[in-house]
Amino acid sequence: MGVLEDLQATLDVINEQLSIVNQRLMALEQRVTPKQVWYTKKDAAALKGVRASTLDADPWLWPNHGKAIKIGKTYHFWHEDVLDWLSKTDEQLWIEHLSSKNKSA
């Protein structure tokens, strides 16, 4: 196979993966209430399909890397941060966490 064929095969794989990501994002957006401005930690965890207590040990696993607004005794995340968070895997969140640590070092 030539270079052009290799590039085309790679582009085809990337386009297929992008299509899958877009479908997943659209499905997630349908699960999230559009008029809700913010979500509690428990609500956000339920949308992701995990228990809130599972994520408590690692703040980088939460929306906006754990940077939340505390109202009373509960933490809340903005709608946009939750949507962004739902579209990412744990591996992507970990890479972002490491990247942000390297920038501050």
CA distances from 67 to 1, 21, 59, 60, 100 (A): 49, 25, 8, 9, 13
**What's the pTM value of the predicted model, to 2 decimals?**
0.63
Tokens of residue 83, six digits: 């949507």
The Cα 28–Cα 39 span in angstroms is 15
Cβ neighbour number for residue 48 with a 10 Å cutoff: 20
What's the pLDDT tens digit per position in 38-86? 899 899 999 888 888 888 888 888 998 888 998 888 889 998 999 899 8
Q: Where are the domains of the chain?
A: 1-31, 34-104
DSSP state of 97: H
